[in-house]
Structure 1
């Protein structure tokens, strides 16, 4: 009789402990995370975004450190955003950092994804020219060989810049190159100019090119946006794990936004191979919180909506694409509340100005 009572008591305690334990994956699960870029010399790191911080600082790995059945695998893509879309279409990725244009192209083509939080929003774009080129402005690009990587958010931003200066893609000779190819072609002067970011700043610092234009400091609507995209099927099957992934990305965004961490942040991003002085230049005159905000605010949403319209108008997508129902802010909202960060970042309106100003 007494032994029976003991067994029942032990069973009850065991049951209560299971109910009280945090949610864990019952079966082994590998979370596949993609990044639409790659470091210098194909290093599996990136820079310039809170997602890059999450990777280099192992934020996701730390979030699931006590869950032996959950593993994190990162994939960095030389083919950038278009390659990420292939990963999603083949169910090889669960989450990914991706720019606005390729994400919209994926949505237009039927990929079932959700936008969970911003990362790398409001990134500036630079225009560099060959060191001996007689090009002083965007307008001087007419008839010139100009490189950028098609299908990326830099592609759409470049077209918008050309349009603002009275040009279109038809007025230039477009050369489709990734970052490494751009650096080589601009150094050898096989092309006249290129749109890009840190790789061009670095090239100019070495005296192998000249930066003649940047969207930095201008209307943020000329810049580029990106964020963390997730496969809808994964979210529906693993909502609690999705929440923890978002928690990890938000923690990385918070650390990346704190000004006392500026020097340490650039050292962390240096794992990508980008020199610290180039990162200092890239972020000069910008607050870390402005560039590393995870918020899905009016500016971000309006920019994705505009990018969809522009992409269709410029012939980058064949059909209209709607962002209705695509943004999924509930996980971000829960993270902000859990971490006490509801007022940590400034939200911006569709006009590019601080919300409520």
Structure 2
């Protein structure tokens, strides 16, 4: 089943409304509502449990909401359901083009080995160039959307010379395992999980194709009045970065239960992740602008955008 981005966003917001409503602080309380996914350092921070006491020291509470992938998370920020979250490179570009009131806050270094195009182990397809005319699953507007476009372009296949099948990761895995698609472009930990349990074979990862940055984003109306809270979150994200980078095996063992991912799969994903949170700078803005320009040239954006217009540079 192909699910539209709009439908996914509506379903995600509806699903989280009850939990978010129950967790929303009273008017006199200060709160930061964080959206996270099954990848990246925000879920590690949640599992670690170090953020809550640091925020309490400055008079803030935190609530958490899980999202299936980036576009619904950014729709939730735009709708006022959460204040802060993280995605890959592509979702903020689609969100900005749609008029979402978001700003870039920080980013992680490139992690190109953290996403891949997969085929079944017994597939006759041996190279990306053989995907011409084939069905390729990926989440529309996600990092894997851009990765698939670039990897196929590098192999000489133009956009329109293959059939994109827009599926969220769980649905894409089902389609992949039942042979309803020929290939699947996806990120960790779904990538690592497919390697471990879905008889998946890697055609290519992102190395030499895409940077695969992770971005932290926030509501434009939230950042100014709540700079202290955002600074604390970023500081704690850096501390988790340092801990996981130093000993991914131990981190995987400790976080496996809270995150709900088997330790060996989580360890594989953590070793392919990047660490070292950084402020938004001209170089990463230029990379994002290049992605946005390509999406617009392909007719995938409704209008051209200027990425630097939504870059928050406090503290840089």
Counterpart of 1:148 in structure 2 is 138
Q: Give the drift of 1:256.
A: 3.0
Provide the C-alpha distance between the structure 1 equivalents of 2:169 and 2:161, rounded to a whole number of angstroms. 23
Give 1:52-201 correspondences, 5 Å limit. Answer: 52-66=43-57, 70-78=60-68, 80-119=69-108, 121-124=110-113, 125-197=115-187, 198-201=189-192
Counterpart of 1:232 in structure 2 is 220
Question: Cα distance 1:143–1:99, how it changes in 2: closer, same or farther (>3 A)?
Answer: same
Q: Secondary structure at the match of 2:126?
A: coil
Give 1:329-348 correspondences, 5 Å limit. Answer: 329-331=313-315, 333=316
Q: Secondary structure at the match of 2:307?
A: coil
Instruction: Tell me if the contact between 1:143 and 1:173 (Cα under 8 Å) persists in the aligned partners.
Output: yes
Q: Give the drift of 1:123.
A: 4.1
Q: Give the drift of 1:202.
A: 2.7
Which consecutive aligned stretches of 4+ in structure 1 deviate over 6 angstroms post-superposition? none
- 1:263 corresponds to 2:236: no
Provide the C-alpha distance between the structure 1 equivalents of 2:44 and 2:181, rounded to a whole number of angstroms. 33
Counterpart of 1:301 in structure 2 is 285
- 1:249 corresponds to 2:249: no
Give the TM-score, by structure 2 length.
0.81
Provide the C-alpha distance between the structure 1 equivalents of 2:254 and 2:309, rounded to a whole number of angstroms. 35
Residue from 264, 275, 279 that aligns with 2:262: 275
Q: Give the drift of 1:253.
A: 2.6
From the CA coordinates, give the structure whose radius of gyration is larger.
1
Provide the C-alpha distance between the structure 1 equivalents of 2:254 and 2:293, rounded to a whole number of angstroms. 37
Q: Secondary structure at the match of 1:129?
A: strand
Provide the C-alpha distance between the structure 2 equivalents of 1:121 and 1:115, rounded to a whole number of angstroms. 16
Counterpart of 2:21 in structure 1 is none
> Structure 1: where are the runs of 5+ without partners?
1-24, 38-45, 334-357
Give the TM-score, by structure 1 length.
0.73
- CA offsets per residue over residues 258-284 of structure 1, 9 Å max, x none? x2x222222244243333323443455
- CA offsets per residue over residues 77-126 of structure 1, 9 Å max, x none? 12x22212221221111111122211112222222322111147424321
Instruction: Tell me if the contact between 2:112 and 2:212 (Cα under 8 Å) persists in the aligned partners.
Output: yes
Provide the C-alpha distance between the structure 2 equivalents of 1:172 and 1:292, rounded to a whole number of angstroms. 34
Instruction: Tell me if the contact between 1:126 and 1:200 (Cα under 8 Å) persists in the aligned partners.
Output: yes
Instruction: Tell me if the contact between 1:121 and 1:227 (Cα under 8 Å) persists in the aligned partners.
Output: no
Q: Secondary structure at the match of 2:122?
A: coil
Instruction: Tell me if the contact between 2:177 and 2:198 (Cα under 8 Å) persists in the aligned partners.
Output: no
- CA offsets per residue over residues 52-101 of structure 1, 9 Å max, x none? 2212112321212345x5321111112x2221222122111111112221
Provide the C-alpha distance between the structure 2 equivalents of 1:26 and 1:146, rounded to a whole number of angstroms. 47
Counterpart of 2:300 in structure 1 is 316
Superposition RMSD in Å: 2.5
Q: Give the drift of 1:129.
A: 0.8
Instruction: Tell me if the contact between 1:120 and 1:227 (Cα under 8 Å) persists in the aligned partners.
Output: no
- CA offsets per residue over residues 177-227 of structure 1, 9 Å max, x none? 111112212122222110113323333333622222212xx33x6132221
Q: Secondary structure at the match of 2:203?
A: strand
